[in-house]
Structure 1
């Protein structure tokens, strides 16, 4: 279930304030949001959007980007998004409908962009593992202990085929290598959490 931070929900409520965000400004902000997240450029000059409350409009725009990326990342349908905006963020009916309509049109483009962040790395979607024990070996350099068999199922967007593609990566490692892998994964998680709290 998708969940946005309270600060993001609070910022999205600015969509209800016609003094800060007119209908025209709202439409332009949403156009820019979906264009940028879809890998394009902003369609409208920033100066024309901000009006008399530039800080509030910039905050709203940043949180529209965050919310849209989260909705797409969680695979939310346009109806799920509309309901979430209405019920959780208290966004009015007309603007929730406008957002969900644009979301429906642009969702695939945003998903492709998110899948291909970086140098098109595949994303791990599942892990299988087994542990084998070496009871006896005719090799002198073989050390006793468990052997871990790890299998990653990864998803990547194939631009040539125009669809998601599943890839598999299988490897084995001993206890020391497994501890090293776990340490590096925990370090990466800590780094990501630190980055997300800084935003």
Structure 2
């Protein structure tokens, strides 16, 4: 285990908590693609010694790309963002198997933007009224969940 402090006053439990906090900070910095200057400011505010700050920054800079690749592989922080939606209603009178279908279907185009890209991609889907209502209900639930997290 890495010794955080030469002083014996820091118990093993406190040392483990400090190491966990520092590791969490490192991962969050990589996730958010934080600059070295921003990290330096936070560590200076937290009364880290200049020597330790420089060591932390060196390690962060050396391993940042690798950490980000691994985080992208195991997490969902770089998912596409829906930026627009287009839809239309189609009414199918007949198809190749049947002379009379009389079925409504909604064609939905989700315009998505992936982090780090400038090109908008389109995800298309066709669904029935029930499927569309289910999708809208789930989106509303997701919005409520996010609003609850933001407010707490």
Q: What is the DSSP-based 3-state SS (H/G/I as helix, E as strand, rest coil) of the residue aligned with 2:81? A: strand
Q: Hey, what does 2:18 align to over in structure 1?
A: 60
Unaligned runs of 5+ in 1: 1-14, 22-51, 156-163
Question: Which residue is 1:109 aligned to?
Answer: 66
- Whether contact under 8 Å (1:129, 1:148) holds in the other structure is no
The answer to whether structure 1 residue 71 and structure 2 residue 26 are counterparts is no
Aligned-residue RMSD, C-alpha: 3.7
1:81-100, aligned counterparts within 5 Å?
81-87=39-45, 89-100=46-57
1:167 Cα deviation from its structure 2 partner: 9.9
| SS of aligned partner of 1:150 | strand
TM-score by length of 1: 0.52
Give the alignment of 1:157-196 within 5 angstroms. Answer: 168=121, 170-172=123-125, 173=127, 175-183=132-140, 185-186=142-143
The alpha-carbon deviation at position 94 of structure 1 amounts to 1.6
Decide which of 145, 150, 153 is 2:110's aligned counterpart: 150
Runs of at least 4 residues off by over 6 Å: none
Task: String of CA shifts for 1:6-42, please: whole Å, max 9, x gaps.
Answer: xxxxxxxxx5x54159xxxxxxxxxxxxxxxxxxxxx
Distance, in Å, in 2 between the alignment partners of 1:84 and 1:122 is: 22
Aligned length in residues: 132
Bigger Cα Rg: 2
Unaligned runs of 5+ in 2: 94-101
Change (3 A) 1:104 1:138: closer
Q: Give SS of 1:124's match.
A: coil
Asked if structure 1 preserves the Cα contact closer than 8 Å seen for 2:80 and 2:113, the reply is yes
Please give the alpha-carbon distance, in whole angstroms, between the structure 2 residues aligned to 1:132 and 1:169. 12
CA contact (8 A) 2:111 2:120 kept: no
Instruction: Report if aligned partners of 1:79, 1:100 keep a CA contact under 8 Å in 2.
Output: no
Instruction: Decide whether the 8 Å contact of 2:91 with 2:103 is kept in 1.
Output: no
Report the CA distance shift for 1:115/1:20 in structure 2 as closer, same or farther (over 3 A): farther
Structure 2 CA distance, aligned partners of 1:20 and 1:168?
57
1:37-78 alpha-carbon deviations (Å, 9 max, x no partner):
xxxxxxxxxxxxxxx610111001110111011100110122
SS in 2 for 1:66: helix
What is the Cα deviation at residue 98 of structure 1?
Answer: 1.1
